[in-house]
A and B are shown apart, each in its own frame.
Chain A
């Protein structure tokens, strides 16, 4: 399967320097874990699982994504799509992040039709992570 240079570049960068590519995790017990939302999408039997975490902070009354991390099991384009999503997320408000559409990833990475599901997975991951964050956030407020 021939990949676009964009996918190959993103994939190889991620492998070579995972930390710089925002590969990683926040786990319970970590400082600020209460500011993290997690979205896991896909299934091992289907050949891709994407785990996205976003860290959000209140800035001037709006929730903003200040950092994000991911881990992905899947083909080269799934890994590249996750990395691309991360690049698009950082600094966005939650409302802005909700508007992210898989089509943007397809265009940037020049994904062929057979790989479009990788970008769909990325869109689902951010949507799920936001829902998770908002759920946690409302619980937190409720408990205060």
Chain B
């Protein structure tokens, strides 16, 4: 059988409504022109489609389309926002505030900036993964230039209170960048209300194509960035490079569909999550990672104690999920996100992330519940740690070689 896809937080299939629009931008019969060609109708048509897409993106998050710059994805948007602002405003200060459970696109960019002489504060989170406005307020210094936080965490689904944090950064005159790769199109974002200066978006997390993203750059008050790519001056000189019409049209369309479907998608996903949780909650020694009540329901992270995550994924071969286990990563370290939450290493090794989306069915969830229960039972039967737990041995008291 084809595996059931429960890894929507990693990427999503492209919606057929989106594919149809993209197809029209490729061939000789379609809009294949270069939006930079000002001298003929091929270029004008491409430009028209791109501006329509920019409007669709802006519409979902309630901003001015002139505030949207297309990039190759959220990773580039994060790089452009952080490096672009850090370089431009370095005379104001060289201090950046971020958090330990940010995506690597932000953390690695911060590491690079540290090498270049910037200073970065990495905030801790509480046990659910949340950063409080108070922590941000206390971390801001005279020389702080940027605060960068993610809206919705990709591993545990925790949501950051960007409205309150934006009040603080605005009051202190510090730029606020939000990585919204996981949240746009899934939970409401109103940039007209939010005091956010820079926001990163991705298309492939919400049924659009890979390789395209956007950065929101606020106009009032105006935010300036130093460009990272230089060339033909596209995107008002902030991001040079021929605009990929089909990709941009795909992003515009998936943002448009997301606006139409957000409420119904959320409702459906919430009920799927409840169904999965209800089916599993009576199992012994399972732990929810993240905030069960307040988090985004489409990302559901559980640790199955005394079972190693990669072996569980192998046993769950009919469903596609991801794990915080070290064995699934190249680094041999268990999830840095779960460790930052204060989870012991063995629970981080035992974690599975289920993420659902538009095409997940109740039948998929019921199948998953049965398979997870059986597989966890089987693996515990062969686990020496489970045996010790059953014997009443406290594993944390053992001195392991």
List the 9 shortest-distance A-B pairs measured between CB atoms, nearest first: A43-B400, A45-B345, A44-B346, A51-B384, A71-B384, A75-B310, A75-B327, A76-B314, A47-B349
Q: Using a Cβ–Cβ cut-off of 8 Å, how many residues does chain A contribute to the interface with B?
A: 32
Report chain B residues within 8 Å CB of A49. Answer: 384-385, 400
Does residue B395 face the partner (Cβ distance < 8 Å to A)? yes
* A73 and B314 contact, CB distance less than 8 A: no
Q: Tell me which of B3-11, B97-105, B375-383 binds A.
A: B375-383
A51 to B332, CA, bound (A): 22
A50 to B400, CA, bound (A): 11
Chain B residues close to A by CB (< 8 Å): 306-308, 310-311, 314-315, 325-328, 332, 334, 344-346, 349, 375, 378-379, 381-387, 395, 400-401
Chain A residues close to B by CB (< 8 Å): 1, 3, 8, 11, 14-16, 18, 23, 25, 40-51, 70-76, 78-79, 114
Question: From A50, which residue of chain B is reached at the shortest CB distance?
Answer: B384
A3 to B317, CA, bound (A): 12
Known interface pairs A11-B314, A72-B383, A79-B382; 9 further A-B residue pairs with C-beta atoms within 8 A, sorted by A's residue number: A43-B401, A51-B384, A51-B387, A73-B308, A73-B386, A74-B311, A75-B325, A78-B311, A79-B311
Report chain A residues within 8 Å CB of B334. Answer: 47
A18 to B401, CA, bound (A): 27
Report chain A residues within 8 Å CB of B306. Answer: 73
Report chain A residues within 8 Å CB of B308. Answer: 47-48, 73-75, 78
Quote the shortest CB–CB distance from A113 to chain B (angstroms). 12
* A71 and B327 contact, CB distance less than 8 A: no
A23 to B384, CA, bound (A): 10
Q: List 15 A-B contacts (CB under 8 A).
A: A11-B314, A11-B315, A15-B375, A15-B382, A40-B401, A42-B400, A42-B401, A45-B345, A47-B345, A48-B308, A49-B400, A51-B384, A73-B307, A73-B383, A75-B327
Report chain B residues within 8 Å CB of A3. Answer: 314
